Structure 1
Amino acid sequence: MGVLTVVEDRPTPSAVYNWRIYLLAAIASCGSCMIGYTSAFIGTTITLDSFESEFGFDTMSTEHVDLISENIVSFFIAGAFFGALLTYPIGHFLGRKWSLVIASSVFTLGAGLQLGANSKTGLGIMYAGRVLSGLGTGTASNIIPIYISELAPPAIRGRLVGLYELGWQTGGLVGFWINYGVEKHVPSSNKQWLIPFAVQLIPSGLLFVGALWIKESPRWLFLKGRRSQAMKNLTWIRQLEESDIYMVEEVAAIDQAHEEQASTVGVGFWKPFQSVATRPRILYRLFLGCMLFLWQNASGINAINYYSPTIFTSIGVSKSAVGWTTGIFGVVKTIMTFIWLLYLVDQLGRRKLLLIGAITGSICMWVIGAYICVVRPDEHPSETLNGGGIAAIFFFYLWTAVYTPTWNGTPWVINSELFDPNIRALAQAATTANNWLWNFLISRFTKQMFATMFYGVYFFFAALSFCAFFYAFFLIPETKGIPLEKIDRLFEIKPVWKANEILMEQLKEDEADFRHDMKSRSEEIERTSELSDDA
């Protein structure tokens, strides 16, 4: 199978895989680019000498500096947590398109406030700006996977939702390297640390402009009873006529799903809350989605994203080399995201990626922790790494190369697919907020963990990654290629590790029956027409 080969749930016209669907996904993914950048640049920017001098870090104790650093990072994540929760009412009443407009606007306001911080105004305005940019981030991180998954044909849904992760890693790559650039080429001054903060305005501005142009999700429009606009948007996105058999089948599936939801869940703002609370199957699925983000954060990725200088220093990398080693970390993540996007997520599948990532990531963390435990680079600092140190760095980059195409983006894809249309927005709000909750805890206590546990932090992440393997193996079914309207049936099939294969066979039989019925109806109409003409 080729890199761009797709596995279809039914015969699909080539027109469906057109430039419009990719452009809409790319524009929405500008939001993930702003998330990735603001998550990556901050950890190194606040360690620049110019930033520390601006806010008087050089006169503070190490504990006080660590506390301020953790506040700058964690206030942003706290805002993201509440932004993710607020996305449900915004998305329900205003739709996916206007949620993206609001997210980019709030983020831009927060980024602007951060630029107003200096030694005279103090850090208060910085904290406020970080909270606001976090609110925008939480909304964007919630709504982007929903929007893309609702537009995407099943065969390339993983690839398109993967653009969300690609945007995240591209923004992160710029964030990691921009600090290296300003440190090397911009004199140590107020301007040096302001440049990384100002760059946040670029992806948020692109998202704002693009979000004003993009089409509203047809599925959301159908849910709101706006069929005329929904059909107009769907035909524009698919580049097919309303009468095309593919369109007829897709609309029929959407209508059937909405009818089932109306009879089981109900339509309205509060109905999904009642449905989730009273339906054990949905609560179970919500549990699965939330726990995916627990295990994702338990790998240690966000500790590395936010505090990369601390991580590399613990391995024994000298301060002068931290900048480029962090940059290479960003490069490896971006390259592996491309591979994940183009091939792995839709060819190898979601489930296998989680299994491979959990066990390999665990091994790498055990090795790194063992090296630090034996050598203790903190007690024997050196400007150059010995053979063991080079091996530890190798395993760190191996961990990055394996983790990125497995646990980094795959949980977002799975969560965008797990839930019925009428509760998807609510469920996505809950799972995304859960991600930012674990993210907050990691960012808030990482420096304290390293101060007290040191090499034990790596053993901690290694043990949790090992546990994540069993979680994924026994509880997470493969969602690749399953239409969103058929996800319910996936969770009715046991054992979990065979559910996808069994359901795909059932769907092929359903498709054959549907086409046979359509053909029979067409022949019946022709016969009736002929009899009428004869009469």
Structure 2
Amino acid sequence: MPTGTAQAGRAALPPLTDGPHRRRLGLVALIATFGGLLFGYDTGVINGALRPMAAELGLTPLTEGVVTSSLVFAAAFGAMVGGRLSDGWGRRKTIILLASLFFVGTAAVVAAPGLALLVCGRVLLGLAVGGASTVVPVFLAELAPYEIRGSIAGRNELMIVVGQLAAFIVNAIIGNTLGHLDGVWRIMFAISALPAIALFFGMLRMPESPRWLVQRGRTAEARRVLATIRSEERADAELAELATNTDSEQHQRVLGWRAVLTNKNLVRILLIGIGVGIAQQLTGINSIMYFGQTVLIESGFDESAALIANVAPGVIAVIGALIALSMMDRVDRRKTFIIGFTLTTLSHLLIGLASTLLPVGSPARPWVILLLVVVFVGSMQTFLNVAVWVYLSEIFPLHMRGFGMGVSVFMLWVTNGFLSLYFLSLVDAVGITGTFFLFAAVGALALFFVWRFVPETRGRTLEALEEDVTTGAIYTR
């Protein structure tokens, strides 16, 4: 339940109203989430581009893993750097820089004559993806009213899965119509230059986060921003709350790791953020999104059919994200996490059982495994992916938000990177059966972690959450 502080803060704020300011907030969220669209496309495009790329450039299984995981490991560092940069430089300027990195990285990959430049381009894309994964959710959470913060911040995850679905569809169309051409994979990558350009020019006209502006002492500018995305009465009330909260914490403007480690409550919330991020990745969701074609071929589909069938998880991911957004402001975060990890763990068990009971060569085997993969992806997107990114964007106090988000997402991406690097080797070693039984065991541990340690955040303003985290009140249930 919300604390007394949270309830008082909520009562002091006038209710939300409709009007031009709501449409303006929607436009700002739309433009910012082009960062999520690029995140999704650049991580998903490798799913169909890897095989023709490997054939043209003579890649080995090891160098295929390097090409795939180079983006993911770079994203870990991009998350750390992006979070810190956005604290000092601003959320808006950082997103504009990330748009430039997306474009330059895409150009390098498309023009790459060999492995070296290809990996360099993937590293640039990874830095942009990691930065976007940290900065965009924080930007959205800080712009959104607390009543609809979940659905506004969650739009970024929706755009991520839309980007992945777009990559799967583009791969399927180009792969089956132009697959005979040399360099077909370059066309698949080149498509992502378009949303990068849209993000760059769109963000030039978008406002800065009002919470970041107040923290930097630019109160008048923050008032002007709030007046464009709130009613006049609500803008004044929120500005007063922001100013009061900032004045009470002038002595701890932006905290680095040394300052965080001296406060046990901040250490605890940082460890919870790290744990939630790692748990999300240990479901293996991105292994499916990166190597789904390989999993389906292993299940019994031929290469062309697998490329087309791979669209199905992308479709269910978008549907699940839409359902998640509708629930985000009505269902508690903890309940959502518990349902999600329960369903994904059961999905892993069923995939392992299906691959055991249905022999290789059985006509039912590929279709049953595809159905269960779709169920798994749908469970992830409906109950975990959107909720995790929203949760990470809201649990950290303002003075450590960029740092806390950066560290948590860094660990998320490192976990993702190791899974990307070794997933194909794991499938080769123990097959689909052993791989998904292993994911099921890890999922059970994640479920216990959420039940035992993760506090609730829904229904509180960011300022009320900040006080509860700093004092430790958020941990009392």
TM-score if structure 1 supplies the norm length?
0.83
Which structure has the greater CA radius of gyration?
A: 1
**Within the alignment, does 1:415 sit opposite 2:392 as a pair?**
yes
Give the Cα separation in 1 of the matches to 2:149 and 2:16: 16
2:253 equivalent among 253, 267, 287: 267
In the TM superposition, residue 145 of structure 1 has moved relative to its aligned partner by: 0.7
Structure 2 unaligned regions, length at least 5: 1-6
2:341 equivalent among 343, 346, 358: 358
Deviates more, 1:393-402 or 1:77-86: 393-402
**Within the alignment, does 1:68 sit opposite 2:59 as a pair?**
no
Give the Cα separation in 2 of the matches to 1:371 and 1:138: 35
2:330 equivalent among 347, 355, 380: 347
1:392 equivalent among 369, 375, 378: 369
Show the counterpart of 1:308: 292
1:465 equivalent among 420, 432, 443: 443
Show the counterpart of 1:170: 162
8 A Cα contact 2:48 2:175, kept in partner: no
Give the Cα separation in 1 of the matches to 2:427 and 2:16: 54
One-letter identity of the residue aligned with 2:268 = Y
Residues 294-331 of structure 1: per-residue CA shift (max 9 Å, x gap) = 11111110111111122212333333320121011100
8 A Cα contact 1:258 1:422, kept in partner: no
Corresponding residue SS for 1:14: coil
In the TM superposition, residue 70 of structure 1 has moved relative to its aligned partner by: 0.7
Show the counterpart of 1:30: 34
In the TM superposition, residue 340 of structure 1 has moved relative to its aligned partner by: 1.0
Give the Cα separation in 1 of the matches to 2:189 and 2:370: 29
Show the counterpart of 2:16: 13
**Within the alignment, does 1:278 sit opposite 2:262 as a pair?**
yes
Show the counterpart of 1:56: 58
One-letter identity of the residue aligned with 2:371 = F
Deviates more, 1:393-402 or 1:106-115: 393-402
Show the counterpart of 2:272: 288
Show the counterpart of 2:305: 321
Give the Cα separation in 1 of the matches to 2:366 and 2:468: 46
In the TM superposition, residue 367 of structure 1 has moved relative to its aligned partner by: 1.1
In the TM superposition, residue 187 of structure 1 has moved relative to its aligned partner by: 4.7
Q: Check 1:300–1:228 CA distance in 2 against 1; reply closer, same or farther (3 A cut).
A: same
Show the counterpart of 2:244: 256
Give the Cα separation in 1 of the matches to 2:307 and 2:453: 40
**Within the alignment, does 1:405 sit opposite 2:391 as a pair?**
no
In the TM superposition, residue 376 of structure 1 has moved relative to its aligned partner by: 4.4
1:124-163 matches, within 5 Å, as: 124-163=116-155
TM-score if structure 2 supplies the norm length?
0.93
Show the counterpart of 2:100: 105
One-letter identity of the residue aligned with 1:307 = F
1:192 equivalent among 154, 166, 184: 184
2:403 equivalent among 426, 433, 447: 426
Give the Cα separation in 2 of the matches to 1:207 and 1:96: 14
Corresponding residue SS for 2:458: coil
Structure 1 unaligned regions, length at least 5: 1-6, 58-64, 500-535
Give the Cα separation in 1 of the matches to 2:87 and 2:221: 17
Runs of at least 4 residues off by over 6 Å: none
In the TM superposition, residue 248 of structure 1 has moved relative to its aligned partner by: 3.5
Deviates more, 1:471-480 or 1:209-218: 471-480
Corresponding residue SS for 2:204: helix
Give the Cα separation in 2 of the matches to 1:153 and 1:122: 48
8 A Cα contact 1:43 1:73, kept in partner: no
Q: Check 1:495–1:147 CA distance in 2 against 1; reply closer, same or farther (3 A cut).
A: closer
Show the counterpart of 1:515: none
In the TM superposition, residue 168 of structure 1 has moved relative to its aligned partner by: 0.1
8 A Cα contact 1:419 1:427, kept in partner: yes
Aligned length, in residue pairs: 464
8 A Cα contact 2:324 2:387, kept in partner: no
In the TM superposition, residue 274 of structure 1 has moved relative to its aligned partner by: 3.4
In the TM superposition, residue 139 of structure 1 has moved relative to its aligned partner by: 1.2
Give the Cα separation in 1 of the matches to 2:346 and 2:257: 41
Give the Cα separation in 1 of the matches to 2:426 and 2:439: 12
Q: Check 1:123–1:478 CA distance in 2 against 1; reply closer, same or farther (3 A cut).
A: same
In the TM superposition, residue 155 of structure 1 has moved relative to its aligned partner by: 0.8
Corresponding residue SS for 1:46: helix
Show the counterpart of 1:230: 222
Give the Cα separation in 2 of the matches to 1:260 and 1:463: 45
Residues 222-268 of structure 1: per-residue CA shift (max 9 Å, x gap) = 11111111111111221x33xx2x334312221222123224xx225
Over the aligned positions, Cα root-mean-square deviation in angstroms equals 2.0
Corresponding residue SS for 1:332: helix
Give the Cα separation in 2 of the matches to 1:72 and 1:274: 35
Give the Cα separation in 2 of the matches to 1:351 and 1:397: 24
1:443-458 matches, within 5 Å, as: 443-454=420-431, 455-458=433-436
Corresponding residue SS for 1:317: coil
Give the Cα separation in 1 of the matches to 2:474 and 2:398: 24
Give the Cα separation in 2 of the matches to 1:279 and 1:221: 25
One-letter identity of the residue aligned with 2:449 = Y
Show the counterpart of 1:506: none
